[in-house]
Amino acid sequence: MKQTSATFLQNAHEAMLQPQRSVNRQQLGTMMPQLRDSGVASFGDFDALRSHVSEVRTHTLDHLDHYLDSYVKQATQNGNEVHFARDGDELNRLVSDICQRHEARKIVKGKSMVTEETALNDHLMAEGFQVTETDLGEYILQEAGETPSHIVGPALHKPEAEIRDLFLDRHDLGDRELGDAAALVAEARGLLRQRFLDADVGIIGANALIAESGYSLLVTNEGNGDLCANLPPVLIVCTTLERLLPRFEDAMDLLRLLARSATGQPISCYSTLYSGPRRDGEEDGPLETHIILLDNRRTDILASDYREMLHCVRCGACLNHCPVYVAAGGHAYGWVYPGPMGSILTPLLTSLEASHDLPNACTACGRCEEVCPANIALPDLLRDLRQEEFLTQLTPRRWRLGMRAHAWLLTTPGLYRALTTVAVRAMTWLARGRGSLHRLPFAKGWSTARDCPAPESATTFMHQYNSLRKSRHGR
């Protein structure tokens, strides 16, 4: 996926010009938090659960070598082949090698952000494989040639009418009515069913890897992941190191947090544990299974001050609750992961240079941290990234000098007082009795989108207060 994070502001500008999609986003920003709230309210002590899971995650990362060892041992014993991929290219090559070895032509895929990260589809298609995304949202995007705008609902940005036009255009099914959403779903379902049956290889992701048993857990609401995993003769699970949890019950705790935070559901419609290939005497399931563990800078994150970002469960709650995400839309962020979690992960997984606007796309409102099921201090991490920008001079020179001068001024009260006195007088003079100033010298950023309310009076509070005190003492 070509990264366009460097033009975040321009991307956001274009997104905000699309009225229908803007309305959709605002509806999403209203509806999803309501669903999440009711899901969380029905649980009981959600905070206790998230603190507990957070402790388990911290413990697991602290002893990653131990749990990784146990997982690999168990998974191998269950008949899986476990591979490690240092970066996206390595994962892509591992996948295409397996496919080639089986002389596969047709591949079905469940939803997986990890393979979005490595741009696996582009790689496989360039190698001549036919790849079908089977999650409905991902399928729509594949047909439309678009990228996900949300990590849970990848096609949430697309209005129903656009999807109808797309299906009528892309599906060779003759004249037909596609009345409502149900008709659209039924049509996609019918077409996808044959793809599952024809597929040579299935690719899925994982929501958790269980160290004690070597099992992986996958949740979906459509059941497409299970069809990808069970119908084709070969299964490949593409996932990352930080999905590891020690025990089965830890994965169940995670499931409780994840489903409620993502969609308000007590549990996702399909929650499946995968052990490995078909065993002797069994009638179904894949004949061969591979698990690829992708690093792609995650061990760097593990060793950095951003370690807690590895606790992220990919529920999308921080996106749904972020007013910047709702205003600008997921595509503005220009890569795989949008919203608050994406504004941290994108710089860490790609580079801060290529995404320097993202850590600034935050008002520090704290709503994401409030709902994060992994208790990640997202606004603090975003601010820390801004500090890195400041120190590495990625912050525009004008801002850096401005902030340095500002800090100096704040510690020099006499001069500060003199300057505010002049500024208040100047603004009052410029306003000439009107309530606000239409343009503000030296503050273009402010005045492009709003007026500047004029000061209430021509002198500062400190000036007025000191004069009052003086006149009282004088009397």
Determine the Cα–Cα distance for residues 394 and 117; give it in Å rounded to an integer. 24
Determine the Cα–Cα distance for residues 193 and 408; give it in Å rounded to an integer. 67
Strands 106-109 and 81-85: unpaired
As measured in angstroms, the least distance from the Cβ of 387 to another protein is 4
As measured in angstroms, the least distance from the Cβ of 246 to another protein is 31
Exactly one of 30, 38, 42, 304 binds another protein (CB under 8 A); that residue is 30
Determine the Cα–Cα distance for residues 180 and 225; give it in Å rounded to an integer. 25
Exactly one of 433, 472, 473, 475 binds another protein (CB under 8 A); that residue is 433
As measured in angstroms, the least distance from the Cβ of 369 to another protein is 8
Of residues 298 through 357, those in contact with another protein by CB under 8 A are: 323-324, 327-328, 357
341 within 8 A of 25, measured Cβ to Cβ: no
Of residues 455 through 474, those in contact with another protein by CB under 8 A are: 455-457, 459-462, 464-466
Determine the Cα–Cα distance for residues 296 and 241; give it in Å rounded to an integer. 10
Asked if 161 touches another protein (CB under 8 A), the answer is no
Asked if 41 touches another protein (CB under 8 A), the answer is no
Determine the Cα–Cα distance for residues 167 and 169; give it in Å rounded to an integer. 5
Determine the Cα–Cα distance for residues 155 and 139; give it in Å rounded to an integer. 9
Asked if 105 touches another protein (CB under 8 A), the answer is no
Shorter beta-carbon distance to another protein: residue 173 or 364: 364
Asked if 397 touches another protein (CB under 8 A), the answer is no
Kindly indicate which of the ranges 156-164, 224-232, 237-245, 404-412 contains the residues binding another protein, using the contact rule CB under 8 A.
404-412
The contact pattern for another protein, residues 187-226, with x = CB under 8 A and - = no contact, is ----------------------------------------
Strands 270-274 and 215-220: antiparallel
As measured in angstroms, the least distance from the Cβ of 414 to another protein is 9
User: Exposure string (b/e) for 268-278, b if CB count within 10 Å is 16 or more?
Assistant: beebbebbbbb
Residues 6+ apart with CB under 8 A from 301: 307, 309, 310, 348
151 within 8 A of 346, measured Cβ to Cβ: no
Determine the Cα–Cα distance for residues 299 and 221; give it in Å rounded to an integer. 31
As measured in angstroms, the least distance from the Cβ of 123 to another protein is 34
In order of 63, 207, 241, 381, 456, the CA distances from 57 in angstroms are 10, 13, 12, 18, 53
Asked if 439 touches another protein (CB under 8 A), the answer is no
Asked if 7 touches another protein (CB under 8 A), the answer is no
Q: How many residues bind another protein (CB under 8 A)?
A: 72
342 within 8 A of 333, measured Cβ to Cβ: yes
As measured in angstroms, the least distance from the Cβ of 456 to another protein is 5
Exactly one of 411, 471, 474, 475 binds another protein (CB under 8 A); that residue is 411
Asked if 388 touches another protein (CB under 8 A), the answer is yes
Kindly indicate which of the ranges 69-77, 173-181, 223-231, 405-413 contains the residues binding another protein, using the contact rule CB under 8 A.
405-413
Shorter beta-carbon distance to another protein: residue 13 or 93: 13
